[in-house]
Structure 1
Amino acid sequence: MSNSERVDLFVIGGGINGAGIARDAAGRGLSVILCEKDDLAQGTSSRSGKLVHGGLRYLEYYEFRLVREALIEREVLLNAAPHIIWPMRFVLPHSPDDRPAWLVRLGLFFYDHLGGRKKLPGTRNLDLRCSPEGAPIKDQYPRGFEYSDCWVDDARLVVLNAMDAAQRGAQVLTRTACVSARREAGGWRIELRNTRNGTDQVVFARALVNAAGPWVADIIERVAGARSTRKVRLVKGSHIVTPKFWDGPHSYLVQNHDKRVIFINPYEGDKALIGTTDVPWEGAPESVAIDEAEIDYLLAAVNRYFKQPLRREDVVQTFSGVRPLYDDGKGNPSAVTRDYVFDLDTNGGAPLLNVFGGKITTFRKLSEHAMQNLRPTFPDMGQDWTASATLPGGEIDEADVPQFIARLQREYLWLPRDLMRHYARTYGARTAQVINSANSLADLGRQFGPNLYEAEVRYLMEHEWAETAQDILTRRTKHGLHINAEQTAAFDGWFNGLDRKSA
């Protein structure tokens, strides 16, 4: 990139909203640059509950528009990236101490019919005393419900949007901070700083999008020198990871005494992902971390319903994220809207579009609406297009994923089944690019863990902006959950040495 490049649109923020907007804009024929001060999805977008869901509990707060949009988007996204998004059944043991059964049934009826469900199976009642789903549940909860939502690899969803944007002509600049943005000559003069080497660059753009998530207010005030009447409310959500303690592929959703619901989902085969909390956060977003009270809260919610108690020592990993919710004035963090709001600032001419709120499930529609807001600036840009488009690797039929894996297995007879499944579920139709010209396990290069080989690492460095060991172990993949401390140290040493040689 030259020091005085001119583009149509500049996007700040490499989370799901920024990557989605960059992709949408590039697909409309606009010249686009996306900058992210850290790694793609390093903040909130890799620390979600990893669900594409309508948001059953949002119905209690009368968020019908949001729930309907999210329910419709479930199947849109399922079609776009079936390798990283797949259906999941959720079992809801009923506790009469919390919500009455009629209210739960009513909510599930709306859930089934509000979004024009086509692919996913509907709700059913369960007798937990005799159904296999009820086996791990305490006898005092004999009644339950089952409904559908979807699982998603959240960080990979961000990366796939960035990849698609780049393939459509956008420039994606990771480890690049926006240090200043000022209106000049009918556009924006934007100063960037490469956080790897400290070099500065200048870009001129006709419009600026602020999709910085928890840092949205900082970009408005400090970087752009602007103001907004809208505010963001930061809420911490924490998760714990434990060994999986039930049989079957289904998830559980339990109601806690404070009316919050806790998801207990299968995770990476042999583990469980449990969350989330809702705690007001006032510190720096990058310093967010779980506290012991949150761990106790999540363990207590699980132990209220399940026969096998979880203990503190069962927690093998934790992570926390800061949700940048639009501040609608609600006192209870759980009641604050998960909807998104735009603030279009055209004072001084060149538009600044600030994005408040949003959730993983509705990112595509948010991106589409963002571009519709900018149409007066770009009247000749293309029309809406993402509703029927696949994401990189998603060029397979959702119903055919098992058959796709079986076809790959026949083509690569030398690949172990677990490794093939990992490649297929992570890279989909691009699996052949990861394997490249390899004809044996030895051809994949050095092995660092059960399914982590050098060929995959090099693919991620070349095609997915992976620059550090953690980019690979925790965001591009979840290998970090499957390798021990010694293997992690060996990988770190090899990778850092490789970086130094490359530099």
Structure 2
Amino acid sequence: MANASSDTVDLLIVGGGVNGAGIARDAIGRGLSVVLCEQGDLAGATSSASTKLIHGGLRYLEYYEFRLVREALQEREVLLRAAPHIIWPLRFILPHDSSMRPAWMVRIGLFLYDHLGKRNLLPGSHGVDLTTHPVGRPLNGGFAKAFEYSDCWVEDSRLVILNAIDARERGAEILTRTRCEKATRVDGHWMAKLVSADTGETRTVRARALVNAAGPWVRDVITKRTGVTVEKSVRLVKGSHIVVPRKFEGDHAYIFQNDDRRIVFAIPYERDFTLIGTTDLDYSGDPGAVAISPDEIAYLCRAVSRYLKAPVTESEVVWTYSGVRPLFDDESGSASAVTRDYVLEVDQPAGQAPMLSIFGGKITTFRRLAEEATDKLLKALGRTGGSWTADRPLPGGDIANADFAAFLAGLRQRRPWLPDALALRLARAYGTRVERLLGASESLADLGHDFGGGVYEAELDYALREEFARSGDDFLWRRSKLGLHLDATIRDAIGAWFDRRRNEGTAAPEAGRRSMGGQR
């Protein structure tokens, strides 16, 4: 990053989570020039700490959030078509507990869930007899019937990466590990000081508009970085998850009603594990230091053990993660009741450059949020440009008919030397772009150094060159979840590889960057 250089662009986006990356992609595709800066790694905070679901939010119906649920349900299939490699259908089993909610209420809720949004790819809901159906086997004998319905799984951090890749390839500049230190309005523009965490070098970016997509730090950007006064407020809500060895067979997930009227998911995860979450607790600490508490672990274990024959114990927990959701503060009494809807606030004094701040939102509706945000920015800048992302695949998502099974079969036919498990993992992670990773390789030996556990140097090179990965953690926990599967020796070797490449000055190759010349 050139010291004390000055560039002029249409948008400076602060924050590299799903909203920031989504807006960068949408805006660059509509002719706006874009720089995005992220103080850490892309998806390094909230956007990699979700429950990994693209869902309508069945429980939000109880809070009469019909517009939000409808929008989210519509987005399920839009996103499923855009990225069928990292998003796929998932069936949920909801055991019925009459002490929680009566059966008629659940049926009405599921009827609405089936019909509020357009549904072509996903099957509808129906009842299940737990005494005869295989999904009843892992459950204790206290539950005789259940309801089954559809939602989708998503590799959340990869969703962010794919949006950032697409934005960069269309002309945006994506700066990771780059902090927006200060931004002030000068002569109808924003003058922002950006600081590289790696080198300490500074850079000034002159922007026609500022987008505050900082997630849990949205108020920090407003009050400490820009000095702007905005009436809207954010409520920070902590959500934590635990991962345990797999507790049940099958590709379905469970949704359990807890005695506090919250729900907890138990989801097949990374082949060998079960993901359990989430909690909802108000949070007032540093979003960058969020971590699960012993009480949260106990709560999640207790909630699922009420339903499973084999209880979940705290000693089984192999990994945990927590995130801070920056929800719009609607002054609800409990954290779980706070709206998951988003609010976009534009601050634009007469004759001054606009700032758009994002409050709230959920990963399922990020594309719609980005579309609406770009509409507002175009209007504020006196520009025009039609929306375009609803029917365009994300990188690697251009799979014929969104048929992942057929795509995987084709990959195995073209590359018969790939072990089945590795072919599946690479196809899921990279979609059609797996061919860029594999290149002209005709054997495993052609993929370079074998780190073990199915990781070869060609994949690390790809993550470095194409996916903004700069460290072992970037690759092991956000570009993938291989950190769960690999032993410490392999993880350390991968970390050392990234350290070595970074020290060689190849961590941000020029081939992976684009000019900031404005597209008009």
Give the TM-score range, shorter chain: over 0.9
Which of 471, 474, 481 is equivalent to 1:471?
474
Matches of 1:435 and 1:207, distance apart in 2: 40
Give the C-alpha shift of residue 449 in structure 1.
3.2
- Residues 225-374 of structure 1 mapped to structure 2, 5 A cutoff: 225-347=227-349, 349-374=352-377
Give the C-alpha shift of residue 450 in structure 1.
1.7
Matches of 2:147 and 2:500, distance apart in 1: 53
* Contact 1:91-1:250 at 8 Å conserved across structures: yes
SS in 1 for 2:285: coil
Matches of 1:93 and 1:460, distance apart in 2: 41
* Contact 1:30-1:381 at 8 Å conserved across structures: no
* Contact 2:396-2:431 at 8 Å conserved across structures: yes
* Contact 1:180-1:191 at 8 Å conserved across structures: yes
* Contact 2:378-2:385 at 8 Å conserved across structures: no
2:50 is the alignment partner of 1:48: yes
Give the C-alpha shift of residue 373 in structure 1.
1.3
Give the C-alpha shift of residue 320 in structure 1.
0.2
Which of 417, 430, 440 is equivalent to 1:427?
430
Matches of 2:497 and 2:346, distance apart in 1: 47
Task: Give the aligned CA root-mean-square deviation in angstroms.
Answer: 1.1
Matches of 2:499 and 2:446, distance apart in 1: 22
* Contact 1:242-1:316 at 8 Å conserved across structures: yes
Matches of 2:43 and 2:86, distance apart in 1: 15
SS in 1 for 2:421: helix
Which stretch has the larger CA shift, 296-305 or 396-405?
396-405
| Residues 241-260 of structure 1 deviation map (CA, whole Å, 9 limit, x = unaligned) | 01111111000000000000
2:348 is the alignment partner of 1:376: no
What code does the residue aligned with 1:258 have? D
Give the C-alpha shift of residue 458 in structure 1.
0.4
Which residue in 2 is equivalent to 1:103?
A: 105
Give the C-alpha shift of residue 337 in structure 1.
0.3
Give the C-alpha shift of residue 378 in structure 1.
3.4
**TM-score (ref. length: structure 1):** 0.98
Which residue in 1 is equivalent to 2:20?
A: 18
Matches of 2:10 and 2:504, distance apart in 1: 37
2:42 is the alignment partner of 1:5: no
* Contact 1:422-1:451 at 8 Å conserved across structures: no
* Contact 2:84-2:403 at 8 Å conserved across structures: no
What code does the residue aligned with 2:90 have? M
| Residues 183-207 of structure 1 deviation map (CA, whole Å, 9 limit, x = unaligned) | 1111111110011010000011111
| Residues 106-140 of structure 1 deviation map (CA, whole Å, 9 limit, x = unaligned) | 11010000002111000010000000111111111
| Residues 216-256 of structure 1 deviation map (CA, whole Å, 9 limit, x = unaligned) | 00000110110111110001000000111111100000000
* Contact 2:470-2:498 at 8 Å conserved across structures: no
Give the C-alpha shift of residue 399 in structure 1.
4.5
Which stretch has the larger CA shift, 77-86 or 481-490?
481-490
Give the C-alpha shift of residue 398 in structure 1.
5.1
SS in 2 for 1:305: coil
Give the C-alpha shift of residue 277 in structure 1.
0.2
Which residue in 2 is equivalent to 1:88?
A: 90
* Contact 1:78-1:398 at 8 Å conserved across structures: no
Which residue in 2 is equivalent to 1:444?
A: 447
* Contact 1:208-1:353 at 8 Å conserved across structures: yes
Give the C-alpha shift of residue 377 in structure 1.
2.8
| Residues 396-418 of structure 1 deviation map (CA, whole Å, 9 limit, x = unaligned) | 03542111111111111111011
2:67 is the alignment partner of 1:65: yes
Which stretch has the larger CA shift, 492-501 or 116-125?
492-501
Which of 410, 413, 426 is equivalent to 1:410?
413
Which residue in 1 is equivalent to 2:495?
A: 492
- Residues 106-121 of structure 1 mapped to structure 2, 5 A cutoff: 106-121=108-123
Matches of 1:492 and 1:159, distance apart in 2: 20
Q: How many residues align?
A: 503
SS in 2 for 1:83: coil
Runs of 4+ more than 6 Å apart: none
* Contact 1:82-1:398 at 8 Å conserved across structures: no
* Contact 1:209-1:354 at 8 Å conserved across structures: yes
Give the C-alpha shift of residue 301 in structure 1.
0.8
What code does the residue aligned with 1:468 have? S
Matches of 2:435 and 2:224, distance apart in 1: 45
Give the C-alpha shift of residue 314 in structure 1.
1.1
Give the C-alpha shift of residue 65 in structure 1.
0.5
What code does the residue aligned with 2:147 have? F
* Contact 1:344-1:354 at 8 Å conserved across structures: yes
Which residue in 1 is equivalent to 2:511?
A: none
Matches of 1:162 and 1:247, distance apart in 2: 35
SS in 1 for 2:251: coil
Q: Which runs of 5+ in 2 are unaligned?
A: 507-520
What code does the residue aligned with 1:149 have? D
Give the C-alpha shift of residue 295 in structure 1.
0.5
What code does the residue aligned with 2:113 have? Y
* Contact 1:82-1:397 at 8 Å conserved across structures: no
Matches of 1:34 and 1:381, distance apart in 2: 21
Q: Which runs of 5+ in 1 are unaligned?
A: none
Give the C-alpha shift of residue 152 in structure 1.
0.2
Matches of 2:126 and 2:42, distance apart in 1: 39
What code does the residue aligned with 1:478 have? K
* Contact 2:472-2:496 at 8 Å conserved across structures: no
